[in-house]
Structure 1
């Protein structure tokens, strides 16, 4: 892989791997990698490797979404959620669903700028780490190379 394609793969997998919706990273990273002709296996692997960050960033994304979309009455403490479920579990599920959607929306607003930044940071780093492709000495010096088509 070239540094550009590998950095795109890592950027896409990394950004999709932290989406605050558990269970959608495989499908989403596969679809995006297929659309942009990236290495699907590597993209999914990177999204799996950053899943601990998904768990760490879920609450901050949800809190950001709550503040962006004016869902200020919802607090995400354990005691508050237990109280909500004891009072009315359907209403609690509805509020938590809306909070999660707000978190996904906050992630979506940050995903493209973060992915682009990660892509451009990784290109020079991976350019130094990845081995250079070998060029045949005859081709590099401009010597004509005979290609056989098999129809002789």
Structure 2
């Protein structure tokens, strides 16, 4: 068995099949587009460890499929890691905070110099990053919804209404 077939089987059984199963649950194209857009935006929030709780709460509030929302947020989490630093930089710029050096050596030096000040700086930078995310999440989520809706309308059958 080749490495390619192992990876292909993993993606088929762990990612593609669960997504296809969710699509077969009778969600309308509109609800699916909202679920994917919401899961994507929750999945890139620049605060590690809050996506599951946040996605569950928002999906429950808007009566969306919680499992689908959380699955989508998990699938986009690599983007979360890629976007944390740009969100921090945008938040620092938006709120006029002291520029934060994010290299490992500079962060270690910050903690060696004054660990309380380092924690304070990182806390403020994280809050600024979440604020920057919050400002752009709604417009980007809306655009994502508008892009996905025609695709889902074309490829998903509309559920039969009783």
**TM-score normalised over the length of structure 1:** 0.85
The structure that has the greater radius of gyration is: 1
2:155 is the alignment partner of 1:129: yes
Structure 1 runs (4+) deviating above 2 angstroms are: 131-135
Give CA-to-partner distance per residue, 1:87-137, whole Å, 9 cap, x none: 0111111100110110000000001001111111100011112124458xx
Q: Is the partner of 2:47 in helix, strand or coil?
A: coil
Measure how far apart 1:72 and its partner are. 3.1
How far 1:79 sits from its partner (Å)? 2.1
The total of aligned residue pairs comes to 136
2:143 equivalent to 1:105: no
**Corresponding residue of 1:49:** 75
**CA–CA separation in structure 1 for the residues paired with 2:79 and 2:111:** 27
Separation in 2, partners of 1:133, 1:93: 51
> How many angstroms apart in 1 are the aligned matches of 2:140 and 2:28?
21
34, 54, 62: which is aligned to 1:36? Answer: 62
Q: Does the 8 Å CA contact 2:42/2:51 hold for their aligned counterparts?
A: yes
Higher helix content, 1 or 2: 2
Work out whether 1:117 is the aligned partner of 2:126.
no
2:29 touches 2:158 (CA, 8 Å); kept in 1?
A: no
CA distance in 1, matches of 2:91, 2:99: 13
Match of 1:20 in 2: 46
Find the counterpart in structure 1 of residue 98 from structure 2: 72
Question: Unaligned regions of 5+ residues in structure 1, if any?
Answer: 140-152
1:94 aligns with 2:117: no
Which 5+ residue runs of structure 2 have no aligned equivalent?
1-26
